[in-house]
Amino acid sequence: MQTYEQLLEENRALHAENEELKKLLQAALARIAGLEARLGTNSRNSSKPPSSDPPNAAARPKRPPSARKRGAQPGHPGTSRPLLPPDKVTRTIDLKPETCAACAAKLHGDDPRPVRSQVTDVPPVQPDVTEYRQHTLRCDACGAKTTAPLPPGVDGSAFAPRLKAILSLLSAPPCRLSRRTVEWLAMQLYNVDISLGSVSACEETVSEAVAAPVEEARQHAWASPEAYVDETGFRQAPQAVPEEPLSADRAQSAATGPVAKLSAKAWLWTAVTPLVTVFLIHAKRSAVAAKQLLASFAGILVSDRWSAYSFIDAVRRQLCWAHLLRDFEWIAEFGGEAKAIGQALVAETKLMFESWHRMKEGGLTRSGFQERMAPLMARVEALLEECAASSHDKSARRCREILKLRAALWTFVAREGVEPTNNAAERALRPAVIWRKLSFGSGSERGSRFVERILTVAATCRQHGRNVLEYLVAACEAHARGEPAPSLLPQAAEKRLAA
């Protein structure tokens, strides 16, 4: 029979074991909650792309189908292709009836207002091949031999600047074609027989030609009043990927800069400003890469809450409300008090966007928008404070993280010209993301430089309504002559032409 002391000791042991089991149970429940939260993340409540949604994910909300039929609606004014002016018409053919359709009598004269129709076609392309024969002659006076140099602008390459520009643009992310497809199209469209290696060589030439203008655009972005930034995954074949800033002059070959360890993983960064859009491929998704992209930027930065941007003071930032809305929807999917707070935050955010779009469409003045926002801002911050003090650890932690950047929540309300989302940066990245999925990224560090430079050229030219191909041709022609390439900045280009 056990003594009292033995029973007491056994009871203490059971109590200790019970406390240990409670701790294990709490840890297991926390881990289960975390796993369930991870399983519950999708494109609606996180930054995950829609393509990653599992089959059981709730469908994204869609607009209800309209009762209207497809096509133009009754009363629609309609549109037609405008006629080109006479100086844009290659040839004009007058068609006159010879006899009257009623009595067969001969007809004479001219119609002052004939019915005009224009047919546009592309003529068959035959390559324009120029052969240069460099003669070497001996001097009768001294016996020395002299070889005639190539004309200015001819660099000895088998392909002229325009063809290099066309092939490089076709293989670049905006066009999303593989080099094999470009090789095939060169023959089908232009009757030019070219190898895969030659396509790559054309890309290298174009990359070198636009390096200085791209660097100029990058430095202009640093001086812009606001910038919309984002980053996405990118792949580069396992070779040296730059990790630290390459050099002050990015026009030089990036291959000479310091490099990181061998890795196939990289990141594509972008900064969209009012006049230029610049891109950077970097080995890291860190502050090191963000600082290389933004350098001395002193304007308003619009981004998500990624910690890489925390080196910029919150008073000079605007958090993306599209990302915040997904955070609030994530909170609303929990039960209890977190759900109610999350739903209230979602409702306030949608109300904010409604007022914002109404102002953008002209139905609300900016002062009226600011008056509407004052009570809404107070309600949102009160809800965030309530959630941060709640007993639900995950949602409380998320709201505390958001409140740390309280100063970056409402910059777009106080400062005109600042948008509440970084959608501009996400749109700029979309062509590169699609191209990456089709091509698996770049095959070398040199290829990464081509990608970031051609993306910068294409996006910036599009901002100005500028013909991308004609710019690339001009840059390649200047490169062949050993002259500076045209600027990507419209003011700089106008000043150069005036001079």
The 8-class DSSP code of residue 274 comes to S
SS3 letters for 28-50? HHHHHHHHHHHHHCCCCCCCCCH
Same domain, 313 and 208: yes
Averaged pLDDT score across all residues of the chain:
86
The band of 380, judged by pLDDT with boundaries at 50, 70 and 90, is very high
Last residue of a domain, one of 384, 414, 444: 414
The per-residue pLDDT for 499 is 44
Do residues 309 and 436 both lie within one domain? yes
Query: What pTM, to 2 d.p., does this model score?
Result: 0.79
Domain assignment of residue 46, yes or no: no
Asked if the structure places residue 147 within a domain, the reply is no
Cα separation, 178 vs 404, in Å, equals 45
Least confident of 108-122, 444-458, 482-496: 482-496
Predicted confidence at residue 445, as pLDDT, reads 87
Q: For residue 407, give its domain range.
A: 321-414
- Domains contained in the chain, number: 2
> Which pairs with CB-CB distance under 8 Å and at least 24 residues apart come from 155-160?
155/480, 157/205, 157/480, 158/198, 159/194, 159/198, 159/202
pLDDT of residue 40: 62
64 is a domain residue:
no
Higher pLDDT, 427 or 496: 427
* pLDDT at position 463: 94
Asked whether 390 and 338 are in contact (CB, 8 A), the reply is yes
455-460 average pLDDT score = 96
Average pLDDT score over residue span 377-397: 92
One domain, residues 445 and 298: yes
Q: What is the pLDDT of residue 255?
A: 40
- Predicted confidence band at 265 (pLDDT cuts at 50, 70, 90)? confident
Name the 3-class secondary structure at 62.
coil
Which comes out higher in pLDDT, residue 106 or 30? 106
Note whether residue 493 is domain-resident.
yes
State whether 286 and 333 are in the same domain: no
Co-location of 362 and 297 in the same domain: no
User: How long a stretch of residues is the chain?
Assistant: 499
452 in a structural domain: yes
Statement to judge: residues 329 and 399 lie in one domain: yes
φ, ψ of residue 91 to 5 degrees: the values are: -150, 155
DSSP state of 486: P
Say what the pLDDT of residue 491 is. Answer: 72
Q: Which of 362, 384, 414 is the last residue of a domain?
A: 414
- Which pLDDT score, from 0 to 100, does residue 335 have? 78
In the structure, what pLDDT confidence band is assigned to residue 256 with cuts at 50, 70 and 90? very low
**With bands split at pLDDT 50, 70 and 90, how would you rate the model's confidence at 299?**
very high
**Per-residue pLDDT band at 51 (split at 50, 70, 90):** low
**pLDDT at res. 61:** 65
Question: Is the separation of the CB atoms in 456 and 277 below 8 Å?
Answer: yes
Residues 6+ apart with CB under 8 A from 280: 268, 269, 270, 289, 292, 293, 452
| Confidence check: pLDDT of 252 > 50 | no
Q: Is the pLDDT of residue 107 over 80?
A: yes
Instruction: Identify whether 156 is part of a domain.
Output: no
Determine the 3-state secondary structure of 455 from DSSP. Answer: helix
Strands (E), 283-374: 300-303, 317-319
> Contact at 8 Å (CB) between 397 and 387?
no
Give CA–CA dist 60/430, Å, rounded.
20
Where is the domain boundary, 368, 387, 414? 414
Residue 396 has pLDDT above 50, yes or no: yes
- 291 pLDDT higher than 80: yes
pLDDT, residue 496, reads 43
351-371 pLDDT, tens digit each: 999 999 999 999 999 999 999
Say if residue 145's pLDDT is above 60.
yes
Residues 345 and 383 sit within 8 Å (Cβ to Cβ): yes
211 to each of 167, 218, 256, 394, how far by Cα in Å? Answer: 18, 10, 15, 46
Residues 437 and 297 in one domain: yes
* Window from 256-265, 283-292, 388-397, 466-475 with minimum mean pLDDT: 256-265
272 and 258 within one domain:
yes
Q: Are residues 235 and 330 in the same domain?
A: no
Position 263: which residue type?
S
**Res. 450: pLDDT tops 90:** yes
Measured CA to CA in angstroms, residue 375 lies from 146, 300, 345, 410, 421 at distances of: 83, 24, 14, 12, 21
Judge contact between 481 and 473, C-beta under 8 A.
Answer: no
Percent of the chain with pLDDT over 70: 87
**pLDDT score of 72 more than 80:** no
Looking at residues 1-7, what average pLDDT do you find?
Answer: 74
Give per-residue pLDDT as tens, 15-44.
888 888 888 888 887 777 666 666 666 555
CA distances from 419 to 108, 383, 394, 410, 413 (A): 65, 23, 29, 10, 9
Co-location of 313 and 331 in the same domain: no
Q: Is the pLDDT of residue 253 over 80?
A: no
Question: What type of residue sits at position 319?
Answer: L
Token representation of residue 493: 């280009």
Tell me the per-residue pLDDT of 400-428, one tens digit each, with 9 for 90 and over: 999 999 999 999 999 999 999 999 999 99
At 164-202, the pLDDT tens digits run: 999 999 999 989 898 999 999 999 999 999 999 999 999
Judge whether residue 54 has pLDDT over 80.
no
- Which letter, b or e, does each residue of 408-433 get, where b requires 16 or more Cβ atoms within 10 Å of its Cβ? bbbbbbeeeebbbbbbbbbebbebbb
Confidence of residue 94 (pLDDT cuts 50, 70, 90): very high
Same domain, 206 and 312: yes
Q: Summarize the confidence of residues 141-146 as an average pLDDT.
A: 93
Does 56 have pLDDT greater than 80?
no
What does the pLDDT read at residue 473? 95
**Are residue 434 and residue 309 in the same domain, yes or no?**
yes
Per-residue pLDDT at 321: 96
Q: pLDDT: is 155 or 161 the higher one?
A: 161
pLDDT of residue 44: 58
pLDDT digits (tens, 9 = 90+) for 267-286: 999 999 999 999 999 999 99
- Within a domain: 145: no
Nearest-CA neighbor of 276 among 329, 210, 228, 338?
228
Residue 462 lies in a domain: yes
Measured distance CA(266)–CA(289) in Å, rounded: 11
Contact predicate 471/162, CB 8 Å: no
Interval 94-100 mean pLDDT: 93
